[in-house]
Amino acid sequence: MKTVLVGVGQAGGKVATALAEYDTEMGFRAVRDALAVNSATADLQGLPLDTVLIGQDVVKGHGVGGDNQLGAEVMQNDADEVLNELGDRIDSETEAVFVVAGLGGGTGSGGAPVLAKELKRIYDVPVYAIGILPGRDEGSLYQANAGRSLKTLAREADSTILIDNDAWRETGDSVAEGMAAINERIARRVGLLLAAGEPIEDRSLGLGGGGIDRNVAQSVVDTSEVINTLRGGGLAAVGYATSAASEDPDENVNVVTSTTRQALLSGTSLPEATTADAALLVVAGRPDSLSRKGVERARSWVEEETGSMEVRGGDFPLDTDEISALVLLSGVERSPRVKAFMNRAAEAQVEADQQSEGAAKREAAEAFQNDELDDLL
């Protein structure tokens, strides 16, 4: 999938960087270009991407201080500048644009929905979002910001891949270590997803080979399958797992199925998200070690587990001693994790209202579609 990335806010810029670097390292060539946008000068410094500073007239390069309404305002005011910068990057070969943002801060959570809306107004390609939820320990402001931003972003983007910070942070990690680990995991999972449909040739991944011929795979995943899986919109999640491969494809039947189970049941970006409207299974490895029977069995299991009759599946040739399973789930709004987060965000908003205005406490939201949190736009 030929993609242009736009990282909005501090977390968005770092994740877009990690994705672009992983794509280059692996030789996928799916990321055609990447841009970082922020209202804080300091957060753009040191990023190996082209950058755009927004809101200079309002915040003078000092950021919006966690105020996502202000973040939305400065993005709206300077949207033309961002779109002009993207004009030469999004061309006839671009198959999708990904807006990447942390949903707890100010610039990313406020600006990402605005930018997604503007991009959809202009371009006739899917505009997807990668939204990163704050961890439980990141404070009520971040929870409330993310709840409001998520509702708006899910409406404005064609689909929003949700990343729960708590899903991949290791116990004992510092904040910096946790963020670096999460960025690496996002890059590996989403990077493999973006690579679907891209030709892979003349490259070696440290195993002494000279690259592989993508055409020898039996049922290669392509870009249209990713787009069709996400076509229903709403929220999406990605799961990923790897296992050592045997040289004999027949011995890898169980390896493929067990790795797929790990990817869905314990490796997703949104824990407990196993019910979905649509899904895509990508099994990566050397074509001569992949088991077609294993892929079909794994695809059938994903269909049964998710309750979806729309489950696509296929191979992704990769020069490695491992077998990897990537599961893309679309339509995960009913996930218990989403409901719990939206309840937490609504409670955080009540707390903020009480502290600033003495407002009476309202009931917590019961579902993603609740009206307890106003949209940003």
pLDDT over threshold 50, residue 363: no
pLDDT over threshold 70, residue 162: yes
Pick the closest to residue 66 from 150, 144, 179 (CA basis).
Answer: 144
Mean pLDDT of 346-352: 86
Q: Which two tokens stand for residue 39?
A: 């209202």
pLDDT at residue 264, rounded to an integer: 96
Instruction: Report d(CA 230, CA 128) in Å as an integer.
Output: 9
Between 96 and 215, residue with greater pLDDT: 96
* Residues forming beta bridges with residue 280, ordered by sequence position: 312, 328
Give the SS3 label for residue 2: coil
Condensed to tens digits (0 to 9), the pLDDT of residues 235-291 reads 999 999 999 999 888 899 999 999 999 999 999 999 988 899 999 999 999 988 888
pLDDT at residue 342, rounded to an integer: 92
Between 199 and 348, residue with greater pLDDT: 348
Instruction: Report d(CA 176, CA 197) in Å as an integer.
Output: 34
Mean pLDDT of 188-215: 59
Q: Which two tokens stand for residue 232?
A: 């229903």
Domains and CATH numbers, the chain: 3-195 (3.40.50.1440), 233-330 (3.30.1330.20)
Candidate from 40-44, 49-53, 108-112, 344-348 with smallest mean pLDDT: 344-348
Mean pLDDT value across the chain: 88
Mean pLDDT of 293-297: 94
Percent of the chain, pLDDT > 70?
87
pLDDT over threshold 70, residue 101: yes
Give backbone dihedrals phi and psi of 236, rounded to 5 degrees, phi first.
-130, 165
Beta strands in the chain (DSSP E): 3-8, 31-38, 50-53, 96-102, 127-133, 159-164, 235-244, 278-285, 311-317, 322-330
pLDDT over threshold 70, residue 205: no
DSSP assignment, residue 196? Answer: T
pLDDT over threshold 50, residue 362: no
Q: Which two tokens stand for residue 41?
A: 């000068």
* pTM, two decimal places: 0.89
pLDDT at residue 247, rounded to an integer: 84
Pick the closest to residue 30 from 263, 197, 157, 180 (CA basis).
Answer: 197
Mean pLDDT of 314-325: 92
pLDDT at residue 154, rounded to an integer: 95
